[in-house]
């Protein structure tokens, strides 16, 4: 039973990783801003949107949303982000 649960959870994680890319997150934040009407009404969302747009401008749009952290790393430490494969 535990293996079936682990397999299900690993599949869910793989699916989420594939879908949570910076470009799509940026697009979702754009939609929120359109609905809000003003950055002043949702300042945290507006700031987050700026971070995701900066990541896209750095060429990170196709990477997992956690790659925005690369914007805050010293340039000499940048390396491709990879995810470890879960072992069953």
* Range of weakest confidence among 16-25, 32-41, 74-83: 74-83
- Number of Cβ within 10 Å of residue 85's Cβ equals 8
User: DSSP secondary structure string, 6-70?
Assistant: HHHHHHHHHHHHHH-BHHHHHHHHHHHHHHH--GGGSHHHHHHHHHHHHHHHTT-TTSBGGGGGG
Reported as a single tens digit per residue, the pLDDT across 28-65 is 999 999 999 988 999 999 999 999 999 999 999 998 88
Instruction: Please state, in angstroms and rounded to a whole number, the distance separating the CA atoms of residues 40 and 47.
Output: 10
- Token digits of residue 26: 């940026």
pTM of the model: 0.63
């Amino acid at each position: 039973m535990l293996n079936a649960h682990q397999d299900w959870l690993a599949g869910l994680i793989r699916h989420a990783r594939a879908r949570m890319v910076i470009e799509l997150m940026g697009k979702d934040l754009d939609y929120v801003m359109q609905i809000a009407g003003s950055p002043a009404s949702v300042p945290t969302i507006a700031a987050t949107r700026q971070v995701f747009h900066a990541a896209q401008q750095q060429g990170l749009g196709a990477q997992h949303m956690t790659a925005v952290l690369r914007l805050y790393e010293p340039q000499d430490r940048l390396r491709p982000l990879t995810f470890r494969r879960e072992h069953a």
